[in-house]
Structure 1
Amino acid sequence: MGSLATVNELLAGSVGGAAQVLVGQPLDTVKTRAQIAPKGMFKGPMDIIMQTVRKEGFFALYKGMASPLLGIAGVNSLLFASYAAARRAVSPFGQLTLPQTALAGSMAGAANAILASPVEMFKVRMQGQYGEAGDKRLRAIASEMWKDWGFRRGVMRGYWVTVAREIPAYAGFYTAYEFSKRKFAAHYGERPLPVWALLASGSTGGIAYWLACYPLDVIKSRVQLRAVPPTGTPVQYIAAETRAILAEAGWKGLFKGLSPSLLRSIPAAASTFAAFELTREWLAGVTGV
């Protein structure tokens, strides 16, 4: 029965992940370009949208979508299955407290980084192309990174900063998500919760996700886009990238692209967890688990 429940979590996670990518990719492109674009290239998020659409066409906002869409089944399946396992490891006695939820979320985030790191790396490198003649397709970028730098320094570039990002991000996400769900459940006493309550809870969690980790996301994107891999230990190269950002743009540089990230998180996280919860409920009805 436990293995079948895990399969349900994996399948529901895949559906939720696909919903997240399809809904959130345009603003994710805006967010990434705000983080990595040369100084002075864009005036702000709206200028990024206008220049991107004007120079590259509307579908350029979906640039880099192939990597997360192809990898999202694995990434979100791993995330949701890891969170379910972490919940059982933290406490086998039913509902977790919010601190226990934060711990389980951080454990799931650390596990999720295994697959999230290469998916993010390829996505960032696709989004870092601005419609020039020499722009490369995903297959060419993947082949180049593997050929030039290998698995650890190429495909998995930025792994440790991704781990550092995912731990507080998912601690914040799951805590806010569960808090919101419990407030709705206490007020309305409904099981299952209505779709709008799931959407609202997912949005709250998505906002908490970015507020908990955003500077680390900026650092991650820049590390993954650089022409050469970082040197030194993870602590050293994260510190070096932080100093470079501060020298270029001050503290504001660590929060470039935050507004489109927060705007993206509302529909993206809402659709992710509504799709996940509804799919899991449907599968539970079909399988009896």
Structure 2
Amino acid sequence: MATDYARSLQWTKEETDEFLLQNRTVVTAGTASLVSTAASFPFDSVKSRLQVRDYPSIWACAKSVVREEGFRGFFRGVTIPLITISFVRTSSFSIYYNTKAALHRNGIFDDSSRLIHTALSGAAGGATSGIIISCGSAPFELVKVQRQLEYLIAVQKGLVKKNTSANGGGRTFVPQSGFQAAANIYKNFGGIKGFYMGFPLHMARDTFGTALYFGFYDSIRKLVTRHSTSDSISGPSLYGIPGPVVSFLSGSSAGILSWMILYPVDLIKTKVQRDALAGNPKQFTGWQTFMHMIRERPIVQEEGGKQRILKTDTFLARFLRLYRGLGVSALRSFISHGLTWTLIETISGKITERTGQSVSYAPDAKQEE
């Protein structure tokens, strides 16, 4: 009887194929998000620390994390992002595809022969996705930032002395779980509204960032398709470069380009949220933080009590403060977005091979519904 029951739970090939086709976005984007988030999270942790504290280099920041927090510090707060980012990205891709399809059905940006139409339809789908998704993702990202920076926040508030021992001796810092961090934000920062600290910056970053990201990706893939020497179920190849590698480079290029433009907004958002979470009495708005970073000029104390401003402290040097941590962030984007699109295209190809029905995610491709 138990064997008969177990067999009744097994899907036939037709049922499995139908599930894969009907839920292809969940299967592809969900799987890709889980893998890419886990692989890139340590770089995201280092990026957050570089944004709110001066380190001589990326390597110095990484060594500081290991010395003060242990190797686990790189993965502090990873559990919630693994769940939420997978859900958010899957929803984001669904909204992006559906928005583009709706625009094309209504004759808007529907000329696939024109690169500008491809770019604008991708950007419109991305912007729509960013606006909607940011409302739900903001609380989870705030908890992630709190977990990533909780040691630095504890040091800033004087709750723990910086650890100087390689083995963690004398450390009194006890990290929170993600649920504890969320409960503390709810309790100490006004309930639900506390999860939306820095939300205008979060929405601006997600809306414009996602628009640029999908617009860039669709444009890159359109150009690749035009110059492709051959095609496969894993995507078009280019000048002998295999399809999966082309997908990786296309995704990583789109991620890096969009992130370079929006990076200052993300840095300012992180600083605003860090100060709010630390209870800093002198909190700045996003615009005030931007102007402070542009205008602040460090003064050097010389012997005899004289003070002078560094000659190297030019406007360009102050502006580049807005890109502190960009190097590791670009590396994170390279890995995360490259893996995301490689897995999406590869898994889509496997589904096509299994079912015989195309589920290509290339721009303007006709998909089986």
Higher relative helix content: 1
Structure 2 Cα separation of the partners of residues 57 and 228 of structure 1: 23
Where does residue 89 of structure 1 map in the other structure?
102
CA contact (8 A) 1:157 1:229 kept: no
Rate the CA distance shift 1:66–1:99 in 2: closer, same or farther, 3 A.
Answer: same
Say yes or no: does 1:63 pair with 2:47: no
> 1:184-203 residue pairs with structure 2 within 5 A?
184-186=224-226, 187-192=228-233, 193=235, 194-203=243-252
CA contact (8 A) 2:118 2:218 kept: no
CA contact (8 A) 1:24 1:268 kept: yes
Rate the CA distance shift 1:283–1:147 in 2: closer, same or farther, 3 A.
Answer: farther
Say yes or no: does 1:276 pair with 2:307: no
CA contact (8 A) 2:77 2:177 kept: no
Out of 207, 212, 232, the residue aligned to residue 261 of structure 2 is: 212
Q: Deviations over 1:52-74 (max 9, x none)?
A: 12232223112221221121222
Where does residue 262 of structure 1 map in the other structure?
330
SS in 1 for 2:101: helix
Higher RCO, Cα 8 Å, sep 6+: 1
Structure 1 Cα separation of the partners of residues 111 and 34 of structure 2: 29
| 1:169 Cα deviation from its structure 2 partner | 1.2
Rate the CA distance shift 1:242–1:191 in 2: closer, same or farther, 3 A.
Answer: same
| 1:94 Cα deviation from its structure 2 partner | 7.3
| 1:154 Cα deviation from its structure 2 partner | 1.6
CA contact (8 A) 1:68 1:119 kept: yes
Structure 2 Cα separation of the partners of residues 215 and 152 of structure 1: 27
CA contact (8 A) 2:118 2:215 kept: no
Say yes or no: does 1:98 pair with 2:119: yes
Structure 1 Cα separation of the partners of residues 22 and 296 of structure 2: 46
Structure 2 Cα separation of the partners of residues 190 and 227 of structure 1: 51
SS in 2 for 1:76: helix
| 1:191 Cα deviation from its structure 2 partner | 4.1
Where does residue 156 of structure 1 map in the other structure?
196
Structure 2 Cα separation of the partners of residues 103 and 189 of structure 1: 30
| 1:132 Cα deviation from its structure 2 partner | 5.5
Say yes or no: does 1:9 pair with 2:50: no
Please tell me whether Structure 1 or Structure 2 has the larger radius of gyration of its CA atoms: 2
Q: Deviations over 1:181-220 (max 9, x none)?
A: 2233222241431211111111111111211211110111
Structure 1 Cα separation of the partners of residues 63 and 23 of structure 2: 43
Where does residue 4 of structure 2 map in the other structure?
none
**Further displaced range: 278-287 or 118-127:** 278-287
Q: Deviations over 1:250-273 (max 9, x none)?
A: 323311111111111111110011
Where does residue 223 of structure 1 map in the other structure?
272
Rate the CA distance shift 1:222–1:10 in 2: closer, same or farther, 3 A.
Answer: same
SS in 1 for 2:150: coil
Where does residue 45 of structure 1 map in the other structure?
58
Identical pairs, percent: 23
Aligned residue type for 1:223 = V
Say yes or no: does 1:54 pair with 2:67: yes
- Count of residue correspondences: 279
**Further displaced range: 98-107 or 148-157:** 148-157
Structure 1 Cα separation of the partners of residues 104 and 205 of structure 2: 24
Q: Deviations over 1:110-168 (max 9, x none)?
A: 22212331221111111113386143222211001112224543223222211100122
SS in 1 for 2:176: coil
Q: Which structure 2 segments of 5+ residues have no match?
A: 1-18, 152-170, 236-242, 298-317, 358-367
| 1:19 Cα deviation from its structure 2 partner | 1.7
Structure 1 Cα separation of the partners of residues 296 and 44 of structure 2: 23
Structure 2 Cα separation of the partners of residues 208 and 152 of structure 1: 34
CA contact (8 A) 1:17 1:73 kept: yes
Rate the CA distance shift 1:256–1:91 in 2: closer, same or farther, 3 A.
Answer: same
Q: Deviations over 1:58-104 (max 9, x none)?
A: 23112221221121222111110111122123323474522222222
Out of 140, 143, 151, the residue aligned to residue 180 of structure 2 is: 140
Q: Which structure 1 segments of 5+ residues have no match?
A: 231-235
